[in-house]
Amino acid sequence: MDGIEAEQLKLAHPKICVLLCSLFNNMMTMGNVPELFCSGLIIPVPKNKRGDLTDSSNFRGITLSPVISKVFEMCLMEVYSDYLYSHDLQFGF
């Protein structure tokens, strides 16, 4: 969605860590995230490729999110995971 691939971040100059840290800290301080971080592109994927491809119940949605927003989410989970929990009946969702 944002034209950035995960491999680009992995292979980028180490200064990208400093820049992303500054961005994420500013986002936390201001309590605001970029609008692009809140968007996603839903791609329908067939559950059964041999099944009826005209039946909407044969599809599940995969959401493509901006890579930098995923990095931000991972940072938040690293910091706040001790304060977050899910019920056993949620099955990981």
* Lookup: tokens for 6: 């995960």
pLDDT band at 92 (very low <50, low <70, confident <90, very high): low
pLDDT of 72 reads 94
Per-residue pLDDT tens digits for 34-87: 998 989 999 999 998 888 888 888 999 999 999 999 999 999 999 998 888 777
What lies within 8 Å, CB to CB, of 65 at 6+ separation is 1, 39, 40
pLDDT of amino acid 48: 86
Tell me how far apart the terminal alpha carbons of the chain are, to the nearest angstrom: 24
Q: Measured between alpha carbons, how far is 40 from 50 in angstroms, rounded to an integer?
A: 28
